[in-house]
């Protein structure tokens, strides 16, 4: 290894902001979640039975956290962070996340009409013993939400994406000859579909490599 001094820093939460692409390797065996409310333009922890009445009436938003390291290409090092996982990103991770994986996480810039979701693509599975041990990120969340205790065990209540399949059959007669819709795939299980979707996804890094 290089003889440059070891980088030391304070552990922080990493959110994937718009226009960001990062490569992460997973240290946690799994991610853990909490419910939050979005009040006065910031997220507060839902206190469950002790939650403030008016606050508790606002929608509950799930957020997940996990220990990861983000690749810093400038220093050729992996830097530890607490990854924040949105409800939408969790659908990409569900059933796939293991320790020792390399993921690309990205969020495209919003268009005029809509904001873009955070997306994750699994790139590599590595030997879990080849990555550093998981670190305790609970204190960081206590600071983040300014609370003395936090229960990290809430699952994302959002159901999996609804998987549909194109079907065969004659297209509208008026379009005959113009090529009717063909079935795109033969996904039997969501697992297969997830793998397919993961493969089909083009991350910003992959697009850049294609253009090169």
Q: Using CB under 5 A as the criterion, which residues of the chain lie in contact with Zn ion when the complex forms?
A: 46, 51, 56
184-197 burial: b if 16+ Cβ within 10 Å, else e: eeebeeeeebbeeb
| 144 touches 83 (CB < 8 A) | no
**What letter does residue 170 receive in the DSSP assignment?**
-
Shortest distance, position 52 Cβ to Zn ion, whole Å = 7
Residue whose CB is less far from Zn ion, 55 or 205 = 55
Residue whose CB is less far from Zn ion, 46 or 83 = 46
127-160 burial: b if 16+ Cβ within 10 Å, else e: eeeebeebeebeebbeebbeeeebeeebebeeee
Q: What is the CA radius of gyration of the chain?
A: 21
Shortest distance, position 51 Cβ to Zn ion, whole Å = 3
Shortest distance, position 63 Cβ to Zn ion, whole Å = 13
Residue whose CB is less far from Zn ion, 45 or 68 = 45
**What letter does residue 49 receive in the DSSP assignment?**
G
Residue whose CB is less far from Zn ion, 43 or 205 = 43
Q: 3-class DSSP state for residue 166?
A: coil
Shortest distance, position 15 Cβ to Zn ion, whole Å = 21
Shortest distance, position 141 Cβ to Zn ion, whole Å = 16
Residue whose CB is less far from Zn ion, 45 or 67 = 45
| 119 touches 201 (CB < 8 A) | yes
Closest C-alpha to 151, from 165, 141, 160, 161: 141
């Amino acid at each position: 290894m290089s003889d440059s001094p070891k980088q030391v820093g304070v552990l922080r939460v990493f959110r994937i902001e718009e226009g960001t692409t990062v490569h992460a390797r997973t240290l946690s065996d799994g991610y853990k979640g909490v419910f939050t409310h979005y009040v006065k333009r910031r997220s507060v922890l839902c206190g469950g039975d002790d939650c403030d009445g008016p606050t508790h009436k606002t929608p509950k938003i799930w957020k997940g956290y996990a220990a990861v390291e983000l690749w810093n290409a400038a220093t050729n090092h992996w830097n530890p962070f607490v990854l924040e996982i949105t409800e939408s990103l969790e659908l990409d991770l569900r059933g796939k996340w293991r320790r020792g994986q390399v993921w690309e996480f990205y969020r495209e810039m919003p268009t005029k009409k809509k904001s873009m979701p955070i997306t994750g693509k699994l790139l590599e599975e590595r030997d879990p013993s080849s990555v550093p041990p998981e670190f305790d990120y609970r204190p960081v969340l206590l600071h983040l939400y300014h609370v003395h205790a936090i229960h990290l065990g809430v699952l994302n209540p959002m159901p999996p994406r609804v998987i549909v399949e194109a079907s065969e059959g004659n297209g509208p007669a008026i379009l005959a000859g113009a090529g009717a819709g063909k079935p795109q795939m033969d996904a039997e299980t969501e697992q297969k579909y997830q793998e397919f979707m993961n493969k089909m996804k083009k991350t910003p890094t992959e697009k850049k490599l294609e253009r090169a």
